Amino acid sequence: MSSSPVPDPAQYARFRELQQLAYSAAEAVARGLEPGVTEREAAARLRHHLVERGVQDWFHTPFAWFGDRTAFRGFKVPLQFFPTRRRLEEGMPFILDCAPVRDGYVADIGYSGCLGANRIHDKLMDDLAAYRELIVEQVRAGRRLSDIYRAVDALISEQGYDNRHRVYPGRVIAHQVGMVRSRLPRFVAAGFGVRALQTLAQDLLVERMHHRSPLWADGRISRHPATPGMWAVEPHIGFRGVGVKFEEILVVEQDGDAFWLDDDLPHVRRRQDRKVTR
């Protein structure tokens, strides 16, 4: 959400701190989920948890998806992304997603879980780990964003799954993040913070002038290597009504090097605990 240069390394800690807060909030809400809770109630819990800990604004307010909605089954219009009265049941997968803003810093995370046992969910989570390595390796190699998108598609097909991030508006797998630059009052419209949206709109105009975009998809505008900066990356895969994803910040430096901002995240720890290999 920002076309500005890579932040000073001294700022990494502030972005990392907010990303950690967002993930810890998702983990806390996930631990408290029980049969019968609705998506709206889960999203409200996530929002309350973050506001209590100093979050002042949003790139987007919290989302929660239960059951086959984790795979965006039947999604056709943007309104279907918003939390519903769908109730959680035993064995049902869920995804919690939030993008808080604090002191101008932005994080955008996605947390996948399941209430009880679900073998399909566990297998998808195991296989999701490969995308984290694939993406950073290809960015470091200087490949065009559209080509990396297609490499992700190829891995999804190889694993026998469905690409679900293509259902997001603009088919995006990632978007740039940075400092929110706006003097507008804090206000949420249609689930998005107007200050963050203004910053994104400004970045879209600037990047278009350079034949680039702060949105990473598979079209012509993404036929360039990753622009230096910070990207919220969210590969999302699905199978038989179960969807899983992670979302976290990837840092791309001026020299083309790239690294994940933080390796101490739930999906990374899960992979280490289960000794998942590519």
Question: Other C-beta atoms within 10 Å of 156: how many?
Answer: 22
d(CA 168, CA 104): 25
d(CA 32, CA 39): 13
Give residue 21's pLDDT: 98
Give residue 2's pLDDT: 47
- Which strands make up the sheet holding 236-239, listed edge to edge? 162-163, 236-239, 242-245
Give residue 246's pLDDT: 98
Give residue 129's pLDDT: 95
Element containing residue 156 per DSSP (H, E): helix 145-159
At residue 133, φ and ψ (nearest 5 deg) are: -70, -45
d(CA 274, CA 44): 31
Is-contact 219 146, C-beta < 8 A?
Answer: yes
What is the pTM for the complete model shown?
0.92
Residue 5 CA: distances (Å) to CA of 67, 108, 112: 40, 19, 31
Q: Return the structure tokens found at 141.
A: 């190699």
d(CA 243, CA 163): 9
The residues near 17 (Cβ < 8 Å, ≥ 6 apart) are none
Domain residue limits, the chain: 9-274
d(CA 9, CA 159): 37
Per-residue pLDDT of the chain (278 residues; tens, 9 = 90+): 544 456 677 889 999 999 999 999 999 999 999 999 999 999 999 999 999 999 999 999 999 999 999 999 999 898 999 999 999 999 999 999 999 999 999 999 999 999 999 999 999 999 999 999 999 999 999 999 999 999 999 999 999 999 999 999 999 999 999 888 777 778 787 777 777 777 776 766 666 666 678 899 999 989 999 999 999 999 999 999 999 999 999 999 999 999 999 999 999 999 888 766 65
What is the DSSP-derived secondary structure letter of residue 194?
H
Tell which CATH architecture fits domain 9-274. Alpha-Beta Complex (3.90)
Nearest C-alpha neighbor of 168 from the set 233, 113, 84, 227? 233
Beta strands in 109-247 (DSSP E): 109-114, 162-163, 174-177, 188-189, 192-193, 215-216, 229-233, 236-239, 242-245
d(CA 153, CA 137): 15
Write the single-letter amino acid at 130: A
d(CA 65, CA 97): 9
